[in-house]
Amino acid sequence: MSDELYRKGVDYFNAGYFFEAHDTFEELWMDDRDASKRFYQGLVQLSTGCYHLVMKNVKGARSQLSKSVAKLRGYEPAYMNLDVSELLRQVEELLQRLPAEKIKDLSPELLAAIPKIKLNQ
């Protein structure tokens, strides 16, 4: 069940359904009692940060993405078939591209910088 939910969360995230990805990863996080708990929490925060970004809340995006990096850093280089190091590289690149202040519209470049979660088969 958890593998199925995990893949569902990844699929939601990669399709840009960040709210749904958040809910899916949160379900895994809330039910987990082992070493994966912080990993799932990092994915929840990643999803939340990307949701804030598409809603043009730069401050919320920056906060949640930074928290995500801090949580996921402990799972490098790879965890649960995910290249964590590559994902963190993408998140850090996105953080560097975020404007300092509020934004009215998301540029195509900023949207293109939203990470993708790549699972190894």
Q: Which residue ranges make up each domain of the chain?
A: 2-112
* Per-residue model confidence (pLDDT) at position 54: 93
Dihedral angle over CA of 71, 19, 102, 68, nearest 10: 0
* Per-residue model confidence (pLDDT) at position 34: 85
User: Mean pLDDT of successive 10-residue segments in the chain (121 residues)?
Assistant: 89 97 93 85 97 93 97 95 96 92 83 93 68
* Per-residue model confidence (pLDDT) at position 68: 98
Question: pTM to 2 decimals?
Answer: 0.93
* Per-residue model confidence (pLDDT) at position 1: 53
- N residues, the chain: 121
Q: Which CATH number is correct for 2-112, 3.40.50.1000, 3.40.50.460, 3.40.50.1820, 1.10.3450.10?
A: 1.10.3450.10
* Per-residue model confidence (pLDDT) at position 33: 74
* Per-residue model confidence (pLDDT) at position 120: 85
* Per-residue model confidence (pLDDT) at position 106: 81
